[in-house]
Structure formats: C-alpha cells, structure tokens
Amino acid sequence: MDLTAFPDPWRFQVHLEIWVLLLFLVGAYVYTVRVIGPKVAPEGRIVTRGQIRAFVAMIVLLWLSSDWPVHDLAEEYLYSVHMVQHMALSMFVPPLALMAIPEWMMRLLLGRGRTWTSARFLSTPVVAAFVYNIVLLVTHIPALVNRSAEGGPVHYSLHVILVTSALLLWMPVVGPIREWQMSHGGKMIYLFAMSLVPTVPAGWLTFAEGSVYDHYETPVRVWGVSVIDDQQMAGAIMKLGGSVFMWAVIIFFFFKRFMAGFHEQQSYVRGSIPADVEMLSENESLTFADVEEAFGRTRAVPESRGSVD
C-alpha cells in the first residue's frame, strides 16, 4: 500500500480556536481578579497563591491536551492518545479550574436566580454522578466517536459537554462554594463509587474482538502500534488512570480526615504543658535535691490488699 498518500502524523497544525480560548480564559481571570475583585471580595481576600498556581496549572494542562501534537494524534491516529486527552479534560482540568476560582467569584458568576438554582441541583452528588457517567458512556458509542473524530461542531460540542459534566462531578469535592461540598467521609465514598463506573467501557475496549472504532483503522500506525493494541491501551488508560487518580484523592482525604491534628497531639508545643508544671530556664540546671523534692510531692502508689508479706 502506498503510504505517501496519507499525511504525516507529526506535521505541525495550528489550532487558533484553542489559543483564542486560552487567551479568553486568562484575560477574564485577570480582569475579574484585578478589577472586580477589590470591589466585591470580602475583607480584601481576593485570591490566594494556591488558587493562582491552580489556574496556571489548569491553563498549561488544557493547552497541552488540546493543542498540537496531542490533539492531532488523538483525533486522527491513536485512540489511546484520545483517551489520555479525555482523561485530562475530565479528571485533571476541571478540579484545577474549581480550585482556582475563589468563592466570591463563583457566587458572582452564578448570581442568585435560575442559574444558581440549576447549578445547585446539578451539583448534588447523585445528580452530578448520574450526569457525568451518562456522558462518559455516551461518548464511547462507536458511531458518535467516529463522527466526532472527523472534526467539526460535533467534536467540540462533545468536549464542552464532557468538561461541563466533569465540573459538576468535582463540585461536591473541591468546589469553591463551601456549603455545596460533602464531608471528607462522603467524598471518599463518592470518589470510590466513581472509580468503579469506568470499568464497564474500559473492559469493553480491552476485551472486544476486532476494532471498535473504524476511524482509527488508518494504515499509518504511529510508533508501530496496531489497532487492537491501541484499543487495549485505551481501555487500560481509562481504567487504571482514572482509578489511580481517584484513589490518590481518596487517600489524601483519608489522611486529612483521620490524621488531622496528629502532629500537634504527639508534639510538645508552646501552651501544651500544664500551667502548674514549673519549667527550667536555659541557664538553670537540675540538681539531685530538685529530683528528691519532685518525688516527695508525688503520691505513693498504695499497696494492693491481696499482697503477701
């Protein structure tokens, strides 16, 4: 077969729509923080360094997963790269985006009308989990994947729906509105349940006989990966990648819930010693007489009644 008729998979392609989106997000965030924040933020607490770092990480990850070469390999040659892209857009970018938004900014965006009511309803754990998993299953239908991989409005619409459903999924976990978040125990149960659902499409991709998606049966095989191997790697990435990340978050919340205050309880810090205990200054030394006096103030342990002389 003459492969010269097929384009080079590593050819550089400019995606202006991605750069426009990134510039819009950066400009909107900076404007809101610098111009609107000082007017509406409570007590001058506009944004923290952690929120700025989360925003920068979100922008970088969104750019890497949506621009050349990841985008082109994902949409034209390898479904496994497509799965990596979807993992980034559903598992990593949404929680970083929520962590980057201050509470006052989220309340400003949602307002107090129907938008707030709708967002509150869709962000409840049961509804958010249902919506996200429906989107997850639908976006793996072969006919829809083959159609969206060809580009156009369907492709971008699916990405928008995926990111939106993922934002709802993560809202009860790391959302900026405190009263919408669950307890640490609830978050662990919630994320554990979410780590089980991807097993269904992941197992289907891993053990399917033959190619599932016709679009990726291209004669040009990047890195020499066959269609079946590519499909199985996509299933493994979906199952292991999502589960490992979910479990890492679960472990974090476990230590945050059950190990909170452990260091302070096991350490002698200022103010933890009773006031009636006299402490030596740095220039004082402990003498034998001081030890005898301390033992003299200690009550003797009474002998047990059953003791034998």
Two structure tokens written together for 85: 């892209």
> How does pLDDT run across 186-218, given as a tens digit for each residue?
999 999 888 887 777 777 777 777 788 888 888
Q: How confident is the model at residue 172 (pLDDT cuts 50, 70, 90)?
A: very high
Closest Cα partner for 195 from 136, 259, 254, 138? 136
pLDDT of residue 139: 86
Please state the length of the chain.
309
Higher pLDDT, 289 or 68: 68
| Three-state DSSP string of 172-205 | HHHCCCHHHCCCHHHHHHHHHHHHHCCHHHHHHH
User: Does the pTM of the predicted model rise above 0.85?
Assistant: no
> How confident is the model over 143-148, as a mean pLDDT?
84
pLDDT of residue 284: 58
> How does pLDDT run across 218-245, given as a tens digit for each residue?
888 888 899 889 988 988 888 787 778 8
Q: How confident is the model at residue 264 (pLDDT cuts 50, 70, 90)?
A: low
Mean of per-residue pLDDT scores for the chain? 83
288 has pLDDT over 90: no
Q: How confident is the model at residue 309 (pLDDT cuts 50, 70, 90)?
A: very low
